Chain A
Amino acid sequence: MLLASLSRWTMSYFAAALAFLIAAEVLAVAGLGYPAAGLTEPATLILVHLVAIGWLSLAMAGALLQFVPVLVSRPLAFPHLALPALAALVAGLFLLCSGFAVLAGWFDGPLDLLPLAAATLLIGFALLGLMLLATLLSARPVGLFSRFILIGLACLAATALSGSAFAAILSGRGGWLDALSLLPDGLPFHALLGFGGWLGLIAFGTSYRLLVMFMLAPDPAPHRVRTVLVSAGLALGLGFSGLVAPLAGLQPGGAFITTALSVLALASAFYGRDILALYRTRRRKALEINMLASIPAFASLGLGIALLPVAIAAGAGEGIVAALAFLLAFGWLGGLTLAQLVKIVSFMTWLGTYASRLGRGPAPRVGDLVAMPRTGWWFLFYYAGVALGVTMLAGGFATGFRWAMLSCLVGTAGIVTELVRVRLLSEIRVGDRPPVHERPRLLLARADERSSSHADHRRVASPRA
């Protein structure tokens, strides 16, 4: 394919995502949300959604806008929707947090902020879904990789729609939904589909493709990947059934969520086996920082998803469940995202800056853009904070958890600084940097300098040579 250009707005998605992560960590350090507040209290909901939508979803969206076209060898459909989608998601999240703040009684505002937030977020996710769906379906046959993303997008739709229903009920505008009594029974399923489906399953699917590339490992056998897809799909299908069961007048009990989580744990075990095989069979022996820093993330997944159904089935306290959920969100999804961001940002920066100079003069390697071992130290701070945070949550130590989050914050701030330095080419000697007008811009790809997709289309339509 000819059109693998840089996704113009991906860096802006990443910047917004990292800003929301830092905001969530600052609030947690300040003592906002669980364990000082209850698990389903507004203060906790603000933190959870800053992490789920602001940090993880925006980072995932930015990465998908860059890599889905590359991995299915088709140009991104409707690329001009990327910025409106980002704007809607950011605005929707601000409205949502304001709505929760009203609910908490922090300021006097209309509760209608909540359904307004839900509508704005729905628009943002729908635009994003449209771009990705149209891109995935333009490539036939629909491959295994695409199926991971398609199921993930279906989970996103279910999560966003159920969240909107909750928002309507919380604002008192859900009278027409009362018969469904979705709250609070639907909440665990809403979280399962969001974290396990949209974020988790797509992380599974994309990591298969990207890890093979990053480590020069042979592709895993399709039947093994399919086993992961089918078992995870089954778990998420159970989650979806649990979510809509009240519509049929059924009350899914605790056993239902336990079953769904157990099947997801099984899928994760299959996935972990494949990832281990990729690490073992890699031809590139030295591990780069992104692959080293992903190891604690995979360990967090293994530990968290294995213990979570056990904890729920055994009726463990709220603290244990919160600790395991925190481990999955910050250790597995957050850790993996931070680690791969280092690689994605440095690669996109390298490509945008040096592609046109390759072969015509000296060019650094991608890895030369990243400051090592300093970047590795920031990951140590981050993961140490995660490990400590899990312990403190499990033990119910609110102050200890704030200290743990401070460690996460220091690590995150360090990684963000390193990413900014990658964009500024700070690791390249001043004399060796390209002239100012050819350097990367911080927040967007130089679509004007690189052949834009429009220019590429023209080239395809009327080949010159």
Chain B
Amino acid sequence: MPTTDALPARELDVRPMLRAGEEPFQAIMDAVSALAPGQCLRLIAPFRPVPLFSVMANRGFAANDRDLGGGDWEVIFSPLATDAESEEVAIGSSSSAVFWGAPIQELDLCDLEPPEPMVRILETLEELQQGDVLFALLAREPVFLFPELAKRQHEWAGNFDASGTTYRLLIRHGGSEGH
């Protein structure tokens, strides 16, 4: 994270909001959206905001929390993605995905029971040519698919959407000899 040190963290104190009985979630998300690439968010809350950790993890932020005493907590969310241009993607994703062309085929596999999405993606890939890009929507991270993609020398990049319910997977055919 080379840029983290250069930018001062953006600060957000949600204690007044909570005292006033307001829900701070939207304000936090707005602050996150307004962050510059590589910038951290320093959050002050009157409790340890554990649920927020997983929300922020899905958005690619690591949480570092500290008890300030008196029940108050400071949490520093720092971005994990090294590539400021790409959105945070799963470990193992290809870093060149932003340069891939538009997908020539899209699959919505959200309603299929595992491992059916894996089967459908591998079947579809066999019909594509080297360099072709496939886009798939899934209900979960297809963890058992990734080793198989690597073995067949396909590249991929994937992450959950902002709501954390749909996994978006981009695969570029790597051109291993198919049949």
Q: How far is the CA of A141 from the CA of B75 in the complex (A)?
A: 12
| Nearest CB in chain B: distance from A117 CB, A | 38
Residue of B nearest to A140 (CB): B62
A449 to B150, CA, bound (A): 14
Q: Is the CB of A283 within 8 A of B111?
A: yes
Residues B155 and A465 in contact, CB atoms below 8 Å apart: yes
Residues of A within 8 A of B51 (CB): 222-223
Contacts of B174 in A (CB 8 A): 465
Among A70, A140, A141, A347, find the residue whose CB has the most chain B CB atoms closer than 10 A.
Answer: A141
A1: chain B residues within 8 A (beta carbon): 90-92, 141, 143, 146
Decide: A141 near B57, CB < 8 A? Known: A1-B91, A2-B147, A451-B150.
yes
Give CA–CA (A140, B57) in the complex, Å.
8
B1 to chain A, nearest CB (A): 15
Q: Give the total of B residues in contact with A, Cβ under 8 Å.
A: 37
Q: Does B83 contact A (CB under 8 A)?
A: no
Report A383-417 residues with CB < 8 Å from chain B CB.
none
Complex Cα distance A213/B111, Å?
11
Q: How far is the CA of A213 from the CA of B112 in the complex (A)?
A: 10
**Shortest distance from the beta carbon of A75 to any chain B beta carbon, whole Å:** 10
Q: Which residues of A contact B141 (CB under 8 A)?
A: 1, 73
Q: Decide yes or no whether A363 CB sits under 8 A from chain B.
A: yes
Interface flag for B114 (CB, 8 Å): yes
Q: For the side of the interface on A, what is the size category?
A: 35 or more
Specify the main secondary structure of chain A where it touches its partner: loop
User: Is A460 part of the contact surface with B, judged by Cβ < 8 Å?
Assistant: yes
Q: What's the minimum C-beta distance from B73 to chain A, rounded to whole angstroms? A: 14
Q: A141-B57, A360-B178 are in contact. Are A459 and B144 (CB under 8 A)?
A: no
Q: Are A347 and B62 in contact (CB-based, < 8 A)?
A: no
CB pair A141–B53 under 8 Å, yes or no, is: yes
Given contacts A360-B126, A360-B178, A363-B119, contact A284 B113 (CB under 8 A): yes
Residues in B with CB closer than 8 Å to A222 are 51, 54
B2 on the interface (CB 8 Å rule)? no
A143 close to B54 (CB less than 8 A): yes
Give Cα A223 to B54, complex, Å: 13
Q: Is B140's beta carbon under 8 Å from chain A?
A: yes
With A140-B62, A358-B118 already in contact, the answer to whether A2 and B92 are too (CB < 8 A) is yes
Q: Does A460 contact B125, Cβ atoms closer than 8 Å?
A: no
Residues of B within 8 A of A214 (CB): 113
Q: How far is the CA of A9 from the CA of B154 in the complex (A)?
A: 28
Confirm or deny: A356 has a beta carbon within 8 angstroms of a beta carbon on chain B: yes
Which residues of B27-61 are within 8 A (CB) of A? 51, 53-54, 57
Contacts of B146 in A (CB 8 A): 1-4
State how many angstroms separate the Cβ of B131 from the closest Cβ of chain A. Answer: 11
Main secondary structure of the interface of B (DSSP, over half): mixed
Is B123's CB under 8 angstroms from A359's CB? Answer: yes
Tell me whether A351 and B115 are in contact (CB under 8 A): yes
- Given A143-B54, A363-B119, residue A2 in contact with residue B114 (CB < 8 A): no
Contact with B along A274-288 (1 / 0, CB 8 A): 000000000110000
A441 contacts chain B at the CB level, 8 A cutoff: no
B91-A73 in contact (CB<8A): yes
- Distance A451 CA – B147 CA, assembled complex (angstroms): 7
* Contact of A359 with B125 at beta-carbon distance under 8 Å, contacts A1-B90, A1-B92, A465-B153 already known: yes
Please give the distance in Å from A34's CB to the nearest CB on chain B: 42
Which residues of B139-166 have CB atoms within 8 Å of chain A's CB atoms? 139-141, 143-144, 146-148, 150-151, 153, 155
Instruction: State the Cβ distance, B152 to closest chain A Cβ, in Å.
Output: 9
Do A358 and B123 touch across chains, with their CB atoms under 8 A apart? Answer: yes
Give which listed residue, B57, B92, B148, contacts A355 with CB less than 8 A. B148
A366: Cβ under 8 A from any B Cβ: yes
Contact between A141 and B63 (Cβ–Cβ < 8 Å)?
yes
Whether the pair A351, B144 counts as a contact (CB closer than 8 A) is yes
Bound CA–CA A4/B158 (angstroms): 15
Measured between C-beta atoms, what is the minimum distance from B28 to chain A in Å? 16
Closest B residue to A142 using CB positions: B53
Q: Is the CB of B139 within 8 A of A3?
A: no
Report if B122 contacts A (CB, 8 A). yes
Contacts of A135 in B (CB 8 A): none
A216 at the binding interface (Cβ < 8 Å): yes
**Cβ of B179 < 8 Å from any Cβ of A?**
yes
Q: Does A427 contact B (CB under 8 A)?
A: no
Are A451's CB and B62's CB within 8 A?
Answer: no
Assuming A2-B147, A366-B115, is B123 touching A460 (CB within 8 A)? no
Asked whether, in the complex, the Cβ of B148 is within 8 Å of the Cβ of A358, the reply is yes
Asked whether A456 and B150 contact (CB < 8 A) given A4-B143, A351-B144, the answer is yes
Query: Taking CB as reference atom, which chain B residue is nearest A141?
Result: B53
CB < 8 Å neighbour of B147 from A5, A140, A144, A283: A5
B: which residues have CB within 8 A of A?
A: 51, 53-54, 57, 62-63, 90-92, 94, 111, 113-116, 118-119, 122-126, 139-141, 143-144, 146-148, 150-151, 153, 155, 174, 178-179
Q: List 17 A-B contacts (CB under 8 A).
A: A1-B91, A2-B146, A2-B150, A3-B147, A73-B91, A73-B143, A141-B57, A144-B54, A213-B140, A350-B115, A355-B147, A356-B151, A359-B119, A359-B124, A360-B178, A363-B119, A366-B115
Residues of A whose CB lies within 8 Å of any CB of B are 1-5, 70, 73, 140-141, 143-144, 213-214, 216, 222-223, 283-284, 347, 350-351, 355-356, 358-360, 363, 365-366, 450-451, 456, 459-460, 463-465
